[in-house]
Amino acid sequence: MENFIFKNATEIIFGKDTENLVGSKVKEYSKSDKILFCYGGGSIKRSGLYDRVIKSLKENGIEFIELPGIKPNPRLGPVKEGIRLCRENNIKFVLSVGGGSSADTAKAIAVGVPYKGDVWDFYTGKAEVKEALPVGVVITLPATGTESSNSSVIMNEDGWFKKGLNTVLIRPAFSIMNPELTFTLPEYQTACGACDIMAHIMERYFTNVKHVDITDRLCEAALRNVINNAPIVLKDPKNYDARAEIMWTGTIAHNDVLSAGRIGDWASHKIEHELSGETDIAHGAGLAIVFPAWMKYVYKHDINRFVQFAVRVWDVDLSYSSCEDIVLEGIRRMTAFFKSMGLPVTLKEGSIGEDKIEEMANKCTDNGTKTVGQFVKLNKDDIVKILNLAK
């Protein structure tokens, strides 16, 4: 096991009606009475959540300026608009109500306000975050884990580059998580969310670090929990207990408990960001396309780890004739599971043309100048081969 420091300061407020506490939580963490309030394209208005949030903010004497209309695969433009609004109004707190795209925008604004340069510098690695405004989140989509993660992923419309920023300074101060708020999710978003949660666990699971049994077992349990509960919520969207299981697993999947002492891979996420950057496909759907192909390409690197995954997560019987057969059956079962949730598992099913493969591989590796992934370091040619396996 590797040395590690674990600190996750996000306060989680989980359960029924917890959104009504948003005003008092903002009051607790904000240094000003005026905040920026970010949200997406309207789901929170249709569900009535918007009205409850406004009521709670007003009851606590919090004024707010709204930044509505954040799109999935969130763009840099609204981030810059949010930074301008905060500076002009002396705002010192950013609240997001909605999915990961809104929360990631709030995080980007939070690092951009105190920074004199272009906020995109943080996403390209040109500058390091030194300070950030506190962010509060009411999450309505269990998927990204952004509610307590150290990440924000933003798309730059200039060239359609989608890039992530990681810094502990953007872990939200608090996150409100009411599983009832996820009852309104369309089936497709529920499925994409389940796949993203599984992907966050698998990125951590496939490691070269030895003697990480505790986190192996925790990862396997978390994966099995999604596999058990996703079909339940797809059939019965208002099943509170199954929604709660998924929601909490989504947080654990990405709050770094499962990374302790390990070095994760993250190549599939980097490749997927090119898919959603290029075509605007939902992140979870892009992962359902990339992960099976990535696994087929790299499993020989550590076949024992893949056997363990197939047996412990997918219940593949050890009596299969060879290790390779066990591994391939595990990958087949995972792919079938993604398909059963209605997700695309090939580029074709995701309406992504083969003609984009070269460009995506180039963007992912800065024109072939760097590798991605830790479990197996992949160069541009490897990524082209993986995307060809995903055809």
Supply angle C-alpha 180, 184, 189, rounded to 5: 110
* Burial (CB count within 10 angstroms: exposed 0-12, middle 13-18, buried 19+), residue 51: exposed
Closest CA to 264 of 331, 205, 313, 324: 205
Place of tokens 């930044």: 67
Please state the closest distance from residue 364 (CB atom) to Zn ion, in A.
15
353's contact among ligand NZQ, Zn ion, none, with CB below 5 to 8 A by partner kind, is: none
Contacts (CB under 6 A) with ligand NZQ, residues 353-382: none
Are 175 and 11 in contact, with CB atoms under 8 Å apart?
yes
Please state the closest distance from residue 145 (CB atom) to ligand NZQ, in A.
5
Please state the closest distance from residue 89 (CB atom) to Zn ion, in A.
32
Number of residues that bind ligand NZQ (CB under 6 A): 34
- Which region, judged by CB under 6 A, interacts with ligand NZQ, from 57-65, 66-74, 333-341, 349-357? 66-74
Verify binding: residue 10, ligand NZQ, rule CB under 6 A. Answer: no
Q: What span, in angstroms and rounded, lies between the C-alpha atoms of 196 and 203?
A: 10
- Spell out, one character per residue from 202 to 241, where the chain touches ligand NZQ: x when CB under 6 A holds, - when not: ----------------------------------------
Verify binding: residue 343, ligand NZQ, rule CB under 6 A. Answer: no
320: which DSSP letter?
S
295's contact among Zn ion, ligand NZQ, none, with CB below 5 to 8 A by partner kind, is: none
User: Backbone dihedral region of 351: left (phi > 0), alpha (psi from -120 to 50 degrees) or beta?
Assistant: left
Contacts (CB under 6 A) with ligand NZQ, residues 86-115: 98-102, 104
Helices (H), 1-113: 22-29, 43-46, 49-59, 76-88, 100-112
Contacts (CB under 6 A) with ligand NZQ, residues 252-311: 254, 269, 283
Closest CA to 225 of 188, 251, 255: 251
Measured from the CB atom, the residue of 18 and 175 that comes closer to Zn ion is 175
350's contact among ligand NZQ, Zn ion, none, with CB below 5 to 8 A by partner kind, is: none
Torsion of CA 70, 72, 74, 79, to 10 degrees: 10
DSSP bridge pairs for 295: none
- Spell out, one character per residue from 159 to 198, where the chain touches Zn ion: x when CB under 5 A holds, - when not: -------------------------------------x--
Supply angle C-alpha 352, 353, 354, rounded to 5: 120
141's contact among Zn ion, ligand NZQ, none, with CB below 5 to 8 A by partner kind, is: ligand NZQ
Measured from the CB atom, the residue of 291 and 297 that comes closer to Zn ion is 291
Place of tokens 């929601």: 247
Verify binding: residue 117, ligand NZQ, rule CB under 6 A. Answer: no
270's contact among Zn ion, ligand NZQ, none, with CB below 5 to 8 A by partner kind, is: none
184's contact among Zn ion, ligand NZQ, none, with CB below 5 to 8 A by partner kind, is: ligand NZQ
> Which of 149, 178, 249, 374 contacts ligand NZQ by CB under 6 A?
149
Q: What span, in angstroms and rounded, lies between the C-alpha atoms of 19 and 92?
A: 21
Closest CA to 32 of 7, 57, 1, 69: 57
Residues that bind Zn ion (CB under 5 A): 196
Q: Which parts of this chain interact with ligand NZQ (CB under 6 A)? A: 40-44, 72-74, 98-102, 104, 140-141, 143-146, 149, 151-153, 181-182, 184-185, 189, 193, 196, 254, 269, 283
